[in-house]
Amino acid sequence: MTQRAVSPPPDAATASAAASAAASAAAPGLPPAGAPAEPPPGLWRPAPPPANSVESRLAEVRIKVYPRSVSGTFAHWRIVFVVLTQLIFYGLPWVQWEGRQAVLFDLGARKFYLFGLVLWPQDVVYLAVLLVISALALFLFTAVAGRLFCGYACPQTVYTEIFMWIERRIEGDRIARIRLDESPWTARKIRLKVGKHALWILLAWWTGSTFIGYFAPIRDLGHQLFTLQLGAWQWFWMLFYGFATWGNAGFMREQVCKYMCPYARFQSVMVDRDTFVVTYDRVRGEPRGGRSRKIDHRGAGMGDCVDCSLCVQVCPTGIDIRDGLQYMCIGCGACIDACNQVMAKMQYPAGLIRYTSERAIDDGLDARAARRRLWRPRILIYGGLVLLLVFGLLSSLAVRSPLRVDVIRDRGVLAREVPGGQIENIYRLQFINTSDEALRLQLSASGLPGLSVRTMPSESADVRVPAASNLLVPVVVRAPLDAAAPGSHPIRFEMRSVEGSAGPQLDLNEAASFYLPQ
């Protein structure tokens, strides 16, 4: 992977002229025949710092990118993913399951509800396995097809798409936005800017409110919000998340992908020459240049690239994919859509920019041969590990017992003699019901002759553990004085579902020890 060198920026006048030229050629998007190669006008630059200086590199951070809108296959897929991910994010907290919120991370009660599953702190191993699966899946998808996640499902990309859609509806497409930003402040400019930010802030606030709806029952939040009864942490996270959405999607945008996202930096170690990434076919495209549609460009020694710069104008990170694969490329495919439109107008084959591998371009492999090379050892290893872990996780969840029991000895009373020639030991049994139904259990103990069990203070051997709860029950176990020699003896607590109880049927036992004094 090559890293794009920071090229000397054109001065403001050049940028303005380029913008005007692009405006006049906006409809067909093609340069006039014989036109000189136009420098990529995707960027609006505030001032021309000296080339190759630290200042020029810092100026790169301040450059504002005005991506032009584009339609096509990949643009449609981006819309599908935006809608899908946002339906899930905004809709999921409103889904109900067995009379409660289906997905709720109740940090106060230390319980995570995931539909029928209730996870406790003891289940942290599932979370760890889930994180390992996510990391391996990321390695796998990156090795297969580069930054697919970034282009279609990353929250930064998705919210930037939504914010840019609002911006386009209010301020217009690329050229109109550049002109608006360059124009002096007028009533119209203030109206457009205020309208845009009002909608952005509304969306950001909704996003922040939904976020805290994953940690507190969302149906109560509206009332608590308008009566100012939210807790301090709820206020903090709602405002923080909303502010981060507004700042990142409205202002930072591609800067997050280029300078803040660690994934952009280490993706280069996960891709190789066989990874499918958005690639400019330089063998087919060079030498580039403007030409008439009617000439035989091959006969004239030209490649298929007409140097219209549309691929740069639509790029949300403002890069030129013709410079080679760069870490700033988020793999969104916008340049593919733009270039395919140009190729169609020129009546050249589509795919001058396409998803393919570096090896396919260098060695002239066709699509089928390039796809065959996807099956390489690292893909098989990552894929195998992901399948294995997913299978292990699902099997473990499927056989997971809905009841956990911990036996704790009462250290204050080791053993004591009670009337009737009996020795009494006291325990505390901690029951964790991880199911959505209450459990009714019958307690007994084995390991010594004549053992009897009763709970306190009810004096019965029945225990009712409410759904998704944690219950601590004091338990008295008695044995005859002569049941065994003095000392500690292993016993087992047995717990069986009471006949006819509505909860899952259980038959568990748990080890303990019974002490007989001298």
Residues that bind ligand SF4 (CB under 6 A): 278, 280, 285, 288, 305-311, 314-317, 319, 321-322, 329-335, 338-339, 342, 352-353
When the beta carbons of 308 and 445 are compared against ligand SF4, the nearer one is: 308
Shortest gap between Cβ of 92 and ligand SF4 (angstroms)? 29
Whole-angstrom distance, CA of residue 342 vs CA of residue 336: 10
What angle do the packed helices 187-212 and 218-226 form, to 10 degrees? Answer: 130
Query: For residue 495, what are the β-bridge partners?
Result: 443, 508
Whole-angstrom distance, CA of residue 342 vs CA of residue 29: 7
Place of tokens 């089928």: 368
Whole-angstrom distance, CA of residue 347 vs CA of residue 297: 12
Shortest gap between Cβ of 323 and ligand SF4 (angstroms)? 9
Shortest gap between Cβ of 119 and ligand SF4 (angstroms)? 38
Which tokens sit at 74? 């990949």
Shortest gap between Cβ of 363 and ligand SF4 (angstroms)? 21
When the beta carbons of 106 and 323 are compared against ligand SF4, the nearer one is: 323
b/e burial code for range 218-228 (CB count within 10 A of at least 16 → b): beebeeebeee
Rg (CA), the chain: 33
Shortest gap between Cβ of 172 and ligand SF4 (angstroms)? 20
Whole-angstrom distance, CA of residue 391 vs CA of residue 395: 6
Shortest gap between Cβ of 70 and ligand SF4 (angstroms)? 9
Whole-angstrom distance, CA of residue 477 vs CA of residue 514: 8
Phi, psi angle pair for 4, to nearest 5°: -65, 130
Check if the beta carbon of residue 514 is closer than 8 Å to that of residue 448: yes
When the beta carbons of 49 and 303 are compared against ligand SF4, the nearer one is: 303
When the beta carbons of 49 and 72 are compared against ligand SF4, the nearer one is: 72
Place of tokens 């990434």: 277
Shortest gap between Cβ of 178 and ligand SF4 (angstroms)? 18
Shortest gap between Cβ of 16 and ligand SF4 (angstroms)? 20
Check if the beta carbon of residue 507 is closer than 8 Å to that of residue 496: yes
Shortest gap between Cβ of 58 and ligand SF4 (angstroms)? 22
When the beta carbons of 123 and 358 are compared against ligand SF4, the nearer one is: 358
When the beta carbons of 104 and 305 are compared against ligand SF4, the nearer one is: 305
Whole-angstrom distance, CA of residue 370 vs CA of residue 276: 8
Neighbours of 305 (CB within 10 A): 27
Whole-angstrom distance, CA of residue 439 vs CA of residue 501: 7
Query: For residue 407, what are the β-bridge partners?
Result: 429
When the beta carbons of 150 and 178 are compared against ligand SF4, the nearer one is: 150
Shortest gap between Cβ of 349 and ligand SF4 (angstroms)? 12
Whole-angstrom distance, CA of residue 397 vs CA of residue 388: 14
Which of 441, 437, 431 has its CA nearest to residue 472? 431
b/e burial code for range 18-55 (CB count within 10 A of at least 16 → b): bbebbbebeeebbbeeebeebbbbbbbbeebbeeeeee
Check if the beta carbon of residue 272 is closer than 8 Å to that of residue 325: no
Shortest gap between Cβ of 371 and ligand SF4 (angstroms)? 19
Which tokens sit at 479? 């044995």
Which tokens sit at 247? 């700042």
When the beta carbons of 175 and 339 are compared against ligand SF4, the nearer one is: 339
Query: Which CA distances in Å does 418 have to 219, 415, 425, 451, 479?
Result: 54, 10, 10, 14, 10
For residue 457, say if its preceding peptide bond is cis, omega within 30 degrees of 0.
Answer: yes
Shortest gap between Cβ of 314 and ligand SF4 (angstroms)? 6
